[in-house]
Amino acid sequence: MTPFGVDSREKPIFQQFSGQRAWASLAKITGLPWSSVHQHRVDTPYNIPISPTVSLLLPTLVEDVYNFFYSAEEVVLDSHAKSAALHIIKVFIDTAPNIAVSAPELVAFASYAPYRVALDAQSIAKGTWHEIYALYGHRGTWYTGCDLLLDRHRFGIIL
């Protein structure tokens, strides 16, 4: 929030939010069957992959080009995220039986961090949402976005 010039009232509130880092990416993978791949973990609650991970590998309309999402909870350089994402995809490809597939090549790799910004349970319990709602109109500012909508539950928005 620093680029927005938060003041001494806003800063301690917004510092309580945390989020993952995420990259939207395209990779060229020749020989991979045209289908969506969702990574699941059978050894975790609800089969959710553990970060850092490539959670989706989706075919695009361009032959042999796949869209994928890489996420990490810790701060990492883009260069590290690129190599880690390619390694995860390569491990997946190497486990595919009887398929001759090329090594993945990055076509595009762009960060859109922070991603899935949230408050932890302790912040919620101490009333941080009330502090956030009290900021509406402060310095002539009204916040938007799914996490900051007033009455979001009344409108059926579940976070």
Average pLDDT, whole number, for the chain? 79
* pLDDT bracket for residue 157 (50, 70, 90): very low
The residue-averaged pLDDT of 20-42 equals 78
Yes or no: say if 72 and 54 are a contact pair by the CB < 8 Å rule.
no
* pLDDT bracket for residue 73 (50, 70, 90): confident
Please count the other Cβ atoms lying within 10 Å of the Cβ belonging to residue 95: 8
Could you give the CA distance from residue 150 to residue 148 in angstroms, rounded to a whole number? 6
β-bridge mates for residue 115, sequence order: 20
Yes or no: say if 37 and 47 are a contact pair by the CB < 8 Å rule.
no
* pLDDT bracket for residue 152 (50, 70, 90): very low
Phi then psi dihedrals of residue 130, to 5 deg: -65, -35
Question: Could you tell me which residue, 47 or 3, shows the higher pLDDT?
Answer: 47
Which residues, 6+ apart, have CB-to-CB distance to 156 below 8 Å?
none
| pTM, to two decimals | 0.65
The residue-averaged pLDDT of 12-24 equals 83
Does the structure show a pLDDT above 50 at 10? yes
The residue-averaged pLDDT of 33-37 equals 69
Could you give the CA distance from residue 41 to residue 62 in angstroms, rounded to a whole number? 29
The residue-averaged pLDDT of 68-89 equals 87
- CB-neighbour burial class of residue 12 (10 A; exposed 0-12, middle 13-18, buried 19+): exposed
Phi then psi dihedrals of residue 72, to 5 deg: -150, 140
The domains located in the chain, with CATH, are 2-16+119-148 (no CATH), 19-116 (3.30.70)
Which one, of 2, 19, 3, lies nearest residue 11 by Cα?
2
Could you give the CA distance from residue 136 to residue 65 in angstroms, rounded to a whole number? 44
Q: Which of 4-8, 100-104, 154-158 has the lowest mean pLDDT?
A: 154-158
Does the structure show a pLDDT above 70 at 37? no
